[in-house]
Amino acid sequence: MTGRTKFVFAGLLIAAAVTYLIVSSTGSTAHYFLTIEELRAMGDDAYGRNITVSGAVLGDTIAYDSSSPRVTFTVVQVPGDPEEVERGGGLAAVLHAAVNDLGAPRLEVVYNDVKPDLLQHEAQAIIRGQLGEDGRFYADEVLLKCPTRYEEDVPGQSGGA
């Protein structure tokens, strides 16, 4: 083997190893990324799988027991497709519409942890965890985004509220 082929061989070997790592990790640790609608559509298939689901937080449903600690709250379906969010007038508008839509699918979330700083009405929650047999979603991790805090260009937000 000449020097150059050795190099190519070594490079390919590393690339193959990394490809294996990526594929195997995707199988074992990656989460299904779903909207609440899609989660409901999965039916019994969803139990026990690692799932990431996103939704709009309903402020009235947030209940916090600081002695456990445990937070429960309900999230409402928001579309997962960025295009669709854009058509709905941006994230803030979509979240606002979602929490006022009584017909939209909802999901009760149980999070055995301290109440996150940003958990509040109309925040977008990205929740990693598993769906329990009782139909509630048991969260391992809750990420929150408040468009009113981070998005600068939401004209009328302060006036309309």
**Which residues are at the interface with another protein (CB under 8 A)?**
3-4, 6-7, 10-11, 14-15, 17-18, 21-22, 25-26, 28-34, 52, 54, 64, 66-69, 80, 82, 85-86, 90-91, 113-115, 117-118, 120, 126, 128, 141, 143-145, 147, 149-153, 158
Task: State how far the Cα of 39 lies from the Cα of 34, in Å rounded to an integer.
Answer: 6
Nearest approach in angstroms of CB 101 to another protein is: 21
Nearer to another protein, 44 or 102 (CB): 44
Nearer to another protein, 102 or 158 (CB): 158
* Pairing state between β 51-57 and 63-65: unpaired
Residues in Cβ contact with 143 at an 8 Å cutoff, skipping those fewer than 6 apart? 125, 126, 127, 128
Task: State how far the Cα of 161 lies from the Cα of 49, in Å rounded to an integer.
Answer: 39
